[in-house]
Amino acid sequence: MALRDQIRIMVVDDMSTSRGLITQALDAYGIRNVTTASDGDGALKALERNPVHLVISDFNMPGMDGLQLLHHLRTNTRTKGVGFILITGKADKATIDRGRQLGMNNFLMKPFGTADLRTCIEAVVGRL
């Protein structure tokens, strides 16, 4: 069975358009087991019920930004090993360095294409 048939991914973004674009790209890669959340709190609650292998999260969200979500994931024994990709339009050195300190696996700059997203994901989980 191919990795794309087994992997479980959560997309976290406060903008429904962005969530939709990412989930459409994942669907085009053959990844069917995708859940979404519109904010960090919702993501954490959903992950308690249904763990995933990879979280793809926007950086700039109200309430809890992507790095705060990452911090919560890494400090919880149930989610500390989850792969994490940060998507941001603000990939300044400080943001990326902080993400790496917290255990971010990869990041992707906005705007990006579907090939860029696939390459970013495969760098974390392996060939889809």
CA distance 86 to 68: 11
Chain CA centroid to CA 67, Å? 11
pLDDT digits (tens, 9 = 90+) for 13-40: 999 999 999 999 999 999 999 999 999 9
Q: What is the pLDDT of residue 90?
A: 81
Residue 91: predicted pLDDT? 81
Does a structural domain hold residue 9?
A: yes
Q: What's the structural domain count of the chain?
A: 1
Residue 127 lies in a domain: no
Query: 125 lies in a domain?
Result: no
Q: How many Å apart are CA 18 and CA 89, to the nearest integer?
A: 12
pTM over 0.85: yes
Q: What's the CATH number where 98 sits?
A: 3.40.50.2300
Kindly report the average pLDDT of the chain as a whole number. 96
Q: pLDDT tens across 93-108, in order?
A: 999 999 999 999 999 9
* Full residue range of the structural domain in which residue 18 is found: 3-120
How many other CB atoms sit within 10 Å of the CB of residue 63? Answer: 11
Q: Are 58 and 88 in contact (CB under 8 A)?
A: yes
Residue 93 falls within a domain, yes or no?
yes
